[in-house]
Structures are given as structure tokens and as C-alpha cells.
Homo-oligomer: A and B are copies of this chain.
């Protein structure tokens, strides 16, 4: 109903509604997997027309925060029940066929952030973090060696056995056990020679070329929650991306 907020710094109504819905996500009013209220209900609640709510939801769906299902409702996007395997994992087989994926956890230790990790995670060097190492197997063969850094403040009491016991992806685990939802990530790729550890784990010679994928993942509020470095044997696999 509020109309025409004349000029300086005009902000469309649907954008304000979008932020109100996002606030509901941040505050945990609706959790991943939940249905949010119908468009008509939200329209009544915010005192705007259904079309305006619709536009707000469209924007959030475009950012993959919400998922619309015709006839059923609009759901909070979740790492637990989706085909996000292609959304955050861009490593695929060269021939395009799908692999059986398996994660082998190596260690989980409490640690102090090095300068690099601290800068990526937005904390002071030396801050408490967890470091998790694992190998990703594609059809039984080790292809990616991941070193994952997490803010200790957000993942209190993280243990290797918990992660191992959990059925599902690691982001699904974070979401379910810690209420931390990875919503977006930035990756930076380089080619590097394999060091001794990676070479041993991936069954390669030291110095063999590896695809190094650095990732910073953020939550609803764009706060960095994870920094990971993946070392990938790109002999039979590659990093796939679409430019549009």
C-alpha cells in the first residue's frame, strides 16, 4: 500500500518485501526444507498485492534461496533434499557420465587460522578454526583432496565421528547440525604442482599438475563461513562451467 517514496534513494516495494522475507530466513522463522506462507498470506501480512510478493519471491528464487513448486508451495532451499551436486561441485568426468561419489574423511582438528585463512574468513590471524581434510572418490578412485577451514565459533564441538555418522553431503550436515546454510560461493582456480601429501593421497607423482580450487562460501548474510582448498587430479575429470 505504501506508495511513491519520492526520489532520493528510491527503493521499490518488492525489494523491501524481498528483504523482509530474507529476514525471516535469517531469523529462522522458516528453516531449510520448510514451506513458507502462500503468496496471498504474505501479501496480507505485508499489506501489498500478491503480484508484489510474487516479484519478491521470484528474486529470491533466482538466487536459489527459495524454490517454487507449482501446486505445492514455496520452500526454503535446503542442501538436504536437492540435486545440488551440480550446483557446488563442478568437477565432472570428461565423458560427461556420472560417477558414484564417496567422501573419505581423514582428520578434523582444532587449529589457529593462518594469515590466508584468516583473511578469507574475515577474522584475525590466530583465531580458532576447525580444519577438516578429506578425499573425494569418484567411482572409487581418489580425485579431489579437500582441506576445509571453518570458524570455530560457528561449529562448536565439531568432531570427525559426527560428520562420518551423518548421511548426506557436508553442507547438508552443516545446515542440519549447526544451522549454517551455505548460500553462495566464490571459487578461484589455479594449476599447481602436487606436493607430497596430495601426491600420495591421489596416487600421483610429486609435481604432477593439479587443479587447485579455492572456495569461500557465505551464508544468508554474506558472511564467510568456510574456506576450502581442493586439489583435483584432472586426468580423467575436469571443472565444468557455463558462461552466459
Contact = CB atoms under 8 A, between A and B. Distances in A.
Contacts of A76: none
A185 interface: yes
Nearest to A64: B244
A98 interface: no
B190 A211 contact: yes
A40 interface: no
B189 A239 contact: yes
Query: Which of A88, A211, A212, A242 has the most chain B CB atoms closer than 10 A to its own CB?
Result: A211
B243 A90 contact: yes
B191 A240 contact: no
- Report how many copies the assembly holds: 2
A238 interface: yes
B189 A211 contact: yes
Given A209-B193, A210-B191, A185 B239 contact: no
Nearest to A189: B239
A13 B16 CA distance: 30
Closest 4 CB pairs of A and B: A191-B191, A191-B209, A209-B209, A190-B234
Nearest to A236: B190
B192 A209 contact: yes
Interface in A191-237: 191-193, 209-212, 214-215, 232, 234
A160 to B, nearest CB: 26
